[in-house]
Structure 1
């Protein structure tokens, strides 16, 4: 009796393997899974104004670092695309500041730089090849930022929630 019940399952498995080998995808429209089957699309984003009066919140990814890291709380935004964007500042031990506008794609554990600060002309310089990159194990700062800004590794509801989480973690 078990053979009769197992036979249809084996037949379905063989057919799906044959379709997979041919490179075809069998899509079953009988179930609604949501928007996960749509490819991710980044929304348009314009660089913010160069910060004049920022609300710097310190982030401490590693106590052994000689550099200090900050995020401008006023610049935090959460896009409909699930990306948390912010202005970041790195302050070296000899008081040199480096600013950047970055985004963290919470769901896929990626980051991207949108612009780098030109403190002399008070403007942003866009990167030549703006690519999404994986947040690697050695990137302690972005790993810490993802943990703080992306609760449960998903985008927060809004910028206020992201700022609250950032302040709580710092």
Structure 2
């Protein structure tokens, strides 16, 4: 009797699920929509009175300080975090750049320089890998601690500014 009950179940299982190969195949690719970068709108250049946030980061022995303009921070629908960086040398010279950081790809792109009170766009700037060496140290900090870690990824600009204002001590925080 038990054999009679098992046979119909086996027959049912064999015929019902015969629909070709199923399951995960390492060669299969999930259909993925190509990423499309959104339009870049440049914020006003930061003035000397802007409340810039200093990034507590090593500058590889170079005599400058790195600041981010919180008013410029944007998180686009394309998941790129855009922001203005102000580097101030020990003698007060300011270098201003507008950049984008793509969390999903661990890349950045410098889009424009601030010169004589206006933005000068860079023609076809390439996305570059973020490294943690030299002057790129601040990008690594932004990527790993503020913008792209699991806890912060894809938050809105206000939340990211709050995180920047709270500050961290890179000497005691591993990033």
* Most deviating of 101-110 and 60-69: 60-69
Determine the structure 2 residue equivalent to 1:143: 140
Alpha-carbon RMSD across the aligned residues, in angstroms, is 2.6
Determine the structure 1 residue equivalent to 2:163: 165
Secondary structure in structure 2 of the residue aligned to 1:74: strand
The 5 A counterparts of 1:116-135 are 116-118=113-115, 120=116, 122-135=117-130
- Structure 1 CA distance, aligned partners of 2:46 and 2:38? 23
Structure 1: gaps (5+ residues): 1-11, 28-35
Shift of 1:150: 2.2
**Contact 2:81–2:147 (Cα < 8 Å) also in 1:** yes
Determine the structure 1 residue equivalent to 2:36: 41
Shift of 1:110: 0.6
Determine the structure 2 residue equivalent to 1:32: none
* Most deviating of 82-91 and 152-161: 152-161
Deviations 1:72-95 (A, max 9, x none): 011111111111111110001111
Q: 2:70 aligns with which of 70, 73, 77?
A: 73
Secondary structure in structure 2 of the residue aligned to 1:152: coil
* Most deviating of 51-60 and 101-110: 51-60
> Does the C-alpha gap of structure 1 residues 135 and 64 become closer, same or farther in structure 2, counting only changes over 3 Å?
closer
Determine the structure 2 residue equivalent to 1:60: 56
Whose radius of gyration is greater, 1 or 2? Answer: 2
Deviations 1:125-157 (A, max 9, x none): 111231111102312111011121223286332
The number of residues matched between the two structures is 142
Name whichever structure is richer in helix by fraction.
1
Q: What is the TM-score with the length of structure 1 in the denominator?
A: 0.72
- Structure 1 CA distance, aligned partners of 2:93 and 2:114? 12
Q: What is the TM-score with the length of structure 2 in the denominator?
A: 0.71
